[in-house]
Amino acid sequence: MTSKRLKIETRDHDYDLLIGTGVSNQFASELQSLGITAKTKILLITDHHVAPYYLEPVKKVLSEFQLFEYIVQAGESAKSLEQVDSIITYMIQHGFDRTSYILALGGGVIGDLSGFVASIYMRGIRFIQCPTTILAHDSSIGGKVGINHPLGKNLIGAFHQPSFILYDTQFLKTLPAKEIRSGLAEVVKHGLIADSSFTHWLNQHAESLLNLDFEALNEALYQGSRIKATIVKEDEKEQGIRAYLNFGHTLAHAIETVSHYDYSHGEAVAIGMVFATRLSERIGYISRKIEDYYLKLIERFQLPTSIPKAYNTEEILQILMRDKKFKQSQIRMVLPIEIGKVMIVEGIEIDLLRKIIEEMKA
């Protein structure tokens, strides 16, 4: 595909997402147009899986800038206060100031961690997202940045919008199969919450997407990003419809925590979407036929749809009760009402959640 540009509009500032196979060769000129000069310090943050593939190529295209690098251990454990502390110490020691930038080169973990550091370093500096996973088409847009607490996922964070997103889909060619499937779960989520024709398109293109057919992939990532950008524009701080982007996440975050992150985020979201769909059918918002359509779609992407028997239901429920969508202990969830449409439902009975969790332990 030729590259595409999408404007992300937020109250704080607008910024561009530049997406396409090979767009990293435009990286330097894009940074210049943001006003970044050779005097600006840029801290490249990446992880130890991504670094061997892409750190040197990115440093090469950005060689005219004053680059520093910080490599963290790959995986969810990097989203921790200890990691934030070490990066901030490095930045202070290396003279980073309020004109400096952070560049997040990696998946959602690196984007969330780097963005969080940017949001608090000297009360906030600018940052750039350079996503390297399919999933990060979601995490790089919209400014939700943060880290985990041992008691739960993403419980510490901020809203801090990036200044620019450069998404070179060529970087996806080294993704392990598990991460391809995981990222596609969030693409499917974008279809299911907002666009029935995109959902049907995804159903037809599951195989090409799983095989990293770049034409299909670029299209899917652009459409998913467009859906996310539209929602973020309308409700940047999640006062209303931004919660739709949380479809599947109420249970997902609990599954990730209970599994000690053995389940990837996208896998857990897949289980969570099946859970929310089943709940919606039980309450009577959707038919069994639509429930089946959702289940089959998620299965087509080779994603998990059940909960391991060994997981303790009461522990899952306890973690789930800390969901950020709940208000004054009232259970609020995003449930599907037709293909491509969801709504927020309040006052769900905990016993019904318990029953469905038990049923899903196939």
Ligand X SMILES: NC(=O)c1ccc[n+]([C@@H]2O[C@H](COP(=O)([O-])OP(=O)(O)OC[C@H]3O[C@@H](n4cnc5c(N)ncnc54)[C@H](O)[C@@H]3O)[C@@H](O)[C@H]2O)c1
- Which residues in the 274-333 window bind ligand X by CB under 6 A? none
CB 358 within 8 A of CB 317: no
Q: Is 228 a catalytic residue?
A: yes
Between 83 and 154, name the residue whose CB sits nearer to ligand LNCXM5UN: 154
Rounded to an integer, what distance in angstroms lies between the CA atom of residue 96 and that of residue 90?
9
Say whether 233 is catalytic: no
Per the annotation, the verdict on 265 as an active-site residue is: yes
* Cβ proximity to ligand X, 115 vs 336, nearer residue: 115
Sign of the dihedral defined by the CA atoms of residues 113, 115, 121, 127, in that order: positive
Contact residue for ligand X among 138, 238, 281, 291 (CB under 6 A): 138
Catalytic residue among 76, 238, 256, 291: 238
Q: Which of 94, 151, 149 is nearest to 116 (CA)?
A: 149
Does residue 13 have an active-site annotation? no
Comparing every residue's Cβ against ligand X, the nearest one is: 108
Q: 329 vs 4, 39, 212, 324, 325, CA distance in Å? A: 43, 50, 42, 10, 10
Q: Which residue has the tokens 């901020």?
A: 158
203 is catalytic: no
Beta-carbon count within 10 A of 350 CB:
12
Residue found by looking up tokens 């993704």 in the block: 175
By CB under 6 A, residue 135 contacts ligand X: yes
For residues 82 and 189, what is the distance between their CA atoms, to the nearest angstrom? 32
Query: If binding is defined by CB under 6 A, does position 112 make contact with ligand X?
Result: yes
Residue closer to ligand LNCXM5UN (CB basis): 138 or 195 = 138
Which residues are part of the catalytic machinery? 123, 144, 186, 228, 238, 242, 246, 249, 253, 265
What is the contact surface with ligand X in residues (CB under 6 A)? 47, 49-50, 53, 74-76, 79, 106-110, 112, 132-133, 135-136, 138-139, 142, 144, 154, 171-172, 174-175, 179, 182, 186, 264-265
